[in-house]
Structure 1
Amino acid sequence: MPKLPTALRLSPRWAPYVFISPFLVLFAVFGLFPLMFSLYLAFQSWEPTNGLGAMQFVGFDNFLFALSDDWFWKSLRNTGWLAVASGVPQHLVAIPLAVFIHTSFKRSRNWVIGAYFLPYITSTVAIAIMFSSLFSTDYGLLNLGLQALAKVPVLGAWLPTEPIDWIGNASNIKPAVATIVFWRYVGFNVVLYLAALQTIPADLYEAATMDGAGKLQQFFFITLPSLRPMIFFGVTLSVIGGLQLFEEPFILTPNGRGGSDQAGMTTAMYLYRMAFDFNDFGAASAMSWLLFVVVVLLTWLTNRAFQPRSSGQ
């Protein structure tokens, strides 16, 4: 086999950098540059239709505008509500469900896991369209089911007899969106906890059984402490994902504007509208960096909450 000329030979010293360079180039173009450009825009007043030459340095005016904008604060409250209402039940359901699957299914475990994981890999648009049909006021299966249950004498006094406007009523939008987010991501958390459960030594449960510990005691004193690192990981992902929520409320609400009284408008939706509806890219960039600060702060608080405490504290 002929050898390459000396000039074309790759030095072992530079070979790792050459092989990793495609990723670095792509990251610099599609990751680092947009990030730095967004930070630069946060201090500029710019309408893209006027070209790059129309940028004007305004200092911290965009940040001051965002902090004084009532709609920005309302979007933060909506985002926080949705993050808590959809994130907390995910883990409260995923942990015992993962334990049940881990202990009850052997041969068919992979099929069960796949069924729960399927919503996570399904297109967000398809999911939102499906739930739009389910939440339909006149023909939705949810309202039809509630009306059928309302005819039962015992349940009739507790359930509404008229169809519920899930999408058009401001008080119902956030529960509808939280239901979609919960349904989509609970399977992802189940997979996380199942992976962690498989790393717990069976000897711990055997020793606990010999000492007379019941299933409930084993769950609280063996399973939960062993799952602590994975719970921290899953909660951190839920915090970050919940604060960046965009697709579900954007597709579910009419015209992607948050529905009646902007009750379903998240911060990601609002900064999107600020940029592409109002053509204020400077304010939108400032809001995105403020959202980044909130994400970092809550992630740090989550880390502090899950840190093991020493006996002297």
Structure 2
Amino acid sequence: MLSFWPQYLAISPFYIVFTVFMLWPVIYSLYLAFHRWDGLGDITFVGFQQFRFLFKDPVFWLSVRNTLVIWVLSTVPMLFGALVLATLLNSVRRFKGFYRIALFLPNVTSIVAVAIFFSAVFSNNFGLVNAILHMVGLPEVPWLSNPWTIKVVIAMLMTWQWTGYNMIIYLAGLQAIPGEVYEAAKIDGAGPIRTFFRITVPILKPIILFTIIISTINGLQSFSEPQVLFGSNAANANLGGPGQAGLTTLLYFYQSAFANNDYGYGAAIVWTFFLFILVLVIINWRLVQRGKKS
């Protein structure tokens, strides 16, 4: 047994760092969810009082609705676009490496820089998008002040960031499909669109469901996008933009815990939302299992 101590000692830094900076904060946040604490004073046990108030909090449910709408607006076009791009890229013969890097680059770009860029492009007064609309004679759109267009801008930002990531996953799956399958379909007279929906999509069904699960986890954790677009120091009434249209659940958690110094209520928010995400992931996992059986 003692002969294994050098190996255990060699890998111990990872587990020590993981325990101190990741596992312990998670456990402590669950403890705080049942207590009231402002970060400086005494910690007071309140039981389920935080959760009872949470379920009656209209701002919390508004943040949940906003998060779900943004998630749907971003996930559906993102996954479809990623699959189409992967299919097109799989048929490219020249400069394939260049296209891969160019399409994957948004995923490794700083989200803060991208959010600042999007806030400038979609600015109500001097934005590039409104300037183009004005040039072609179309009415300008209040992108960052209308409740629906706020969600659209955040969804487009997330779509732009994650499309390349999912495209790489789909491309790996496409390259595993034998070329004889497509050649047989071509001989039978199947066109590109029919081949896409009759061959590509069914074969990639497990991978598509996997990306749905990953996109569910990532999409429901939107935080940096509305925080940078509308400012992290905004008052509670304007948090997430006009009408709180861009207020996501994690942004509301951040505001409650770190701006209002209500760490117990913030912990209750994040644990409730964690269970909500877990339910959605389990549903998607069951869909994956059903897809494998079929």
Question: TM-score normalized by structure 2?
Answer: 0.92
| Alignment RMSD (CA, Å) | 1.9
After superposition, what is the alpha-carbon deviation per residue over 1:19-54, rounded to whole angstroms, capped at 9, x for unaligned? 32111111101110000000000010111122xxx0
User: What residue is the counterpart of 1:69 in the other structure?
Assistant: 57
1:91 aligns with 2:82: no
Among 6, 16, 32, the alignment partner of 1:25 is 16
CA distance in 2, matches of 1:20, 1:208: 52
The percent of aligned pairs where both chains have the same amino acid is 42
Deviations 1:190-225 (A, max 9, x none): 111111111112232233334444333332232112
- CA distance change for structure 1 residues 307 and 290 in 2, over 3 Å: closer, same or farther? same
Q: 1:113 aligns with which of 74, 88, 100?
A: 100
Q: Identify the residue that residue 168 of structure 1 maps to in structure 2.
A: 145
Matches within 5 A, 1:293-312: 293-308=275-290
Instruction: Tell me the CA shift for residue 16 of structure 1.
Output: 3.6
Find runs of 4+ consecutive structure 1 residues off by over 4 angstroms. none
Structure 2 CA distance for partners of 1:133 and 1:209, relative to 1, 3 Å: same
SS at match of 1:200: coil
Q: Is residue 44 from structure 1 mapped to residue 35 from structure 2 by the alignment?
A: yes
In structure 2, what is the equivalent of residue 237 of structure 1? 214
Q: Which residue of 2 aligns with 1:132?
A: 119
Letter in 1 for 2:225: E
Q: Matched residue of 1:136: which SS?
A: coil
Query: Match for 2:26 among 35, 41, 47?
Result: 35
Secondary structure of the structure 2 residue equivalent to 1:49: coil
Q: Deviations over 1:255-300 (max 9, x none)?
A: 4520111110000000100011211110100110001001100011
- Who is 2:109 aligned against? 122
Partner of 1:216: 193
| TM-score, L = length of structure 1 | 0.87
1:86 and 1:164 mapped to 2: Cα distance? Answer: 20
Cα separation, 2, equivalents of 1:92 and 1:283 = 38
What is the CA distance between 1:309 and its match in structure 2?
5.8
Once the two structures are TM-superposed, the CA of residue 178 in structure 1 deviates from its matched residue by 1.0
Larger radius of gyration: 1
Work out whether residues 39 and 261 of structure 2, in 8 Å CA contact, stay in contact via their aligned partners in 1.
yes
Alignment partners' CA distance in 1, 2:292 and 2:145: 51
Q: Distance in 2 between matches of 1:298 and 1:65?
A: 23
Q: State which drifts further: 68-77 or 245-254.
A: 245-254
Classify the secondary structure of the residue corresponding to 1:144: helix
Distance 1:107 1:206 in 2: 21
CA distance in 2, matches of 1:24, 1:274: 31
Deviation per CA, 1:127-173: give whole Å up to 9, x if none: 011111101222211001111122xxxxxxxx42xx33221333321
Tell me the SS of whatever aligns to 2:165. Answer: helix
Cα distance in 1 for partners of 2:2, 2:260 equals 53
**How far apart, CA to CA, are the structure 1 residues paired with 2:7 and 2:187?**
54
Q: Deviation at 1:246?
A: 0.2
- For residues 241 and 247 of structure 1, what CA distance do their matches in structure 2 show? 12
Question: What does the per-residue CA deviation read over 1:37-91, in whole Å, with 9 as the maximum and x for residues that have no partner?
Answer: 00000010111122xxx00111111111111100000000000000000011101
225-234 or 61-70: which moved more? 225-234
- C-alpha distance in 2, partners of 1:101/1:20? 40
- Where does residue 148 of structure 1 map in the other structure? 135
Where structure 2 has 5 or more consecutive residues not aligned to the other structure, the ranges are: none
* Residue 247 (str. 1) matches residue 224 (str. 2): yes
1:110 Cα deviation after fit: 1.0
- Provide the secondary structure at the position in 2 that maps to 1:14: helix
Q: Which amino acid aligns with 2:30?
A: L
Give SS of 1:308's match. helix
Distance 2:83 2:63 in 1: 30
**Take 2:22 and 2:191, find their aligned partners in 1: how far apart are those partners?**
51
Q: Give the number of aligned pairs.
A: 289
